Structure 1
Amino acid sequence: MSRAVSRRLFVPLLLLGFVQVALMKTFEVKDGNKTCLLAEFSANFSVSYETTTKKGSTVLFSLPADAQVNQDSGCNNMTALLVVSFGGGHSVSLNFSRHDRSYKMDALTVSCNEGDTALFPNASHIDLFVRTSRSVNISAKVNTTYRCMSDSTVHMENISVTLSSVRMEAFPPDDDFSKTESICHADVTPTVPTTTLVTTLAPTTATPPTRNPVQGKYNVTTSNGTCLLAEMGLQLNITYTTQDNKIAVKVFNIQPNITTSSGNCSSDHASLQLTDNWTKLNFLFVVNTTINKFYLKELSISTSFVSPAKGKEFMAQNTSLTYLQTTLGKSYMCHSEQMLQVNPNFSINAFELHVQPFKVDNSKYGTAEECQMDKDDMLIPIIVGAALAGLVLIVLIAYLIGRKRSHAGYQTI
């Protein structure tokens, strides 16, 4: 096995400790002392909005750990409403109704506050907008828990919500989920052998990239000057489910000639967004003031899918990465191919990577700190050279010893 192949197999295992999936939360709605709705799920959101420069931007985020049941939640004998509030004035609402011996979710509603500048930087409006979908396929018999571990995406105007690890029960007989479960279709579909479908960025083609991605040059410039520099070739790897419930892999290169860059910077946060006709890729760098270093903390993607995909859009996000750690004021450089694992379904292969957020002086990179893989590549020839030099020295010493012995002893007079 070649060293490049073994490295690609080893790195994902090494990075598993940094992978974070969307947090699963449990919520309960009571009617007096009786539980009338139980919901356990994780949720990822993709929200598009307009910035002050009249450009479109997309933010990806997950239901946070501090999400709470809102006081507007409530229920009676026929209806149950769960309102979950989080962040700076955002909420997601689940509305259930009872029909004879069954219950179903009638509506999923998302409310977003564009005035939350942490989530919607440079938003052109500061209004609260609400989107509702009535096409959520969640239903079960009374006294039965609805369960669906698979991802399910609900699309609304400028908002998409992906639910996963779902357990819900409206009007439960006790204060806990019923043991009898109604399993969603996606979970009971028989598994099939993994197949590979490789496509380029263009949705109409189905051929793999013929070479490594072209290195693109990107920057983020504000009124105070350039605050982020990046050069990199990016190859994206996405695992997804096709319409006939098979597992496939989509591999495509980011093409710099059709990709635009944007972002913003502060003293301790710097973001870079790469956008083309189909894909939005977001990088967020932060500063660790304790050790005076920066690192890549968040990576997220939103991309439209080719026709065989099940669902119109793929989203992934990880907010707890520790990649590309470098001393503040210097740049991170890696000539070797480097894998950035975002979650089990999404990773990025970066080629000829050079990046510096924070303390960019005169739009030029600071002194580069090389990645460990480049150091290893340089170390190998040094070790080989030292070994050869040692071997030559041993041979020379043996020759000199042998020659000295050949002249030892008494000489004939």
Structure 2
Amino acid sequence: MTRSHSLVALVAGLAFLGYARAVTLEVREGNSTCIKAELSASLSITYNTSNATSTAQVSLPESTTVDASSSSCGSNASFPWLVGVFGTGHALSLGFSTNGSMYNVSNLILQYNLSDPSIFPQANSSSVVTVVLTSVGIWARVNTTYRCISPASVTAAGVTVTFSDMKLEAYMPGDDLSPTESVCVADQVSTTVPPPPVPTTSPTPVPTPGPPERGNYTLTNSNGTVCLLAQMGLQFNVSFMSASQNKTVQELVNLHPNLTAASGSCEASSATLVLMQERTTNLTFIFTLNSTSNKYYLSGVTLDAAWPDMTAPFRASNTSLDYLRSTLGRSYMCSAEQTLAVVPAFTLNTFRLQVQPFGVSTNQFATAEECQMDQDQMLIPIVVGAALAGLVLIVLIAYLIGRKRSHAGYQTI
């Protein structure tokens, strides 16, 4: 009997340490499957106990199921998501994106519940922790299955997720994995002479993101009336200490509207708009109204960020700003890119911005007051056009004068 119990404990322990069989997860929309994954995943999570730190080793169990309410096939305004839930409040989520010819896992989110004593014994917290991992390295051609039997790991914020025996496909045209595969580099066996080693040079710079997508954000007051309207694309320019490079780096990061929730409040002389993206990025705008001049402006900006490569959470705040100034009863608009300096380590870039934090009526923007950059951009073609018109007029006058003189030389004496 003792041996039987020991055998059961050993099997359970092996499953706990990541030796479980692969799980199959599918996201369906109607009768069609849009995402399918067959994979094994082991998780290594470092957490705090009362007097030390400990590391939990757990595998994705066979009982993992797809959370239908959080998973999605995506749309024109949102990315596809596969959300697998297991245990007591734990979840592993994969977010996908595509450029038309390739698709990739653009975000991996692990949510774990420290109040689960079976995984986190003696944890000194009972909170639910969310960790976002980017640069997962899973890419495949559209209409092919990504296959990687070899183990592959991604690490961030004390968490390591290791995948193995993986087959998955997003943006599926059919209900089953495509027989055509995009095989990961680790699984590829070369039968040709390997190319010569690439000379070591300076590291390849991280590609900068393109212009951010424009988001639409609305606040309502207690009686349900719209009190703030904002449409804008937002991009962070942040300097922080990199954990992987052990030095200060500067990165441009776009805010994704489809992953962002808006909240805040509207008061008589102040309005606050809070934009939160997946619990890792919190951006706060504070607008102030001067009742004497009937002018409003952006007076404060605060950024709280906990991105994967940061050695510590980042916070920057400035409440003595004077940006986006406009008149009560009008909106402020600036289609050109603006750079709002907040603190030396953080500037905010805005694109195609229109905002009205006071005096909103009929749930629509009022007549806009345009920024100087937009006015200058409109002035340039006017000046160029006027200059061309003047040049044409000068040429015409010169031609008429020359023609008149030519005729005068042949008059009868």
Q: TM-score, normalised by structure 2?
A: 0.49
Structure with the greater alpha carbon radius of gyration: 2
Task: Report which structure shows greater RCO (CA 8 Å, sep ≥6).
Answer: 1
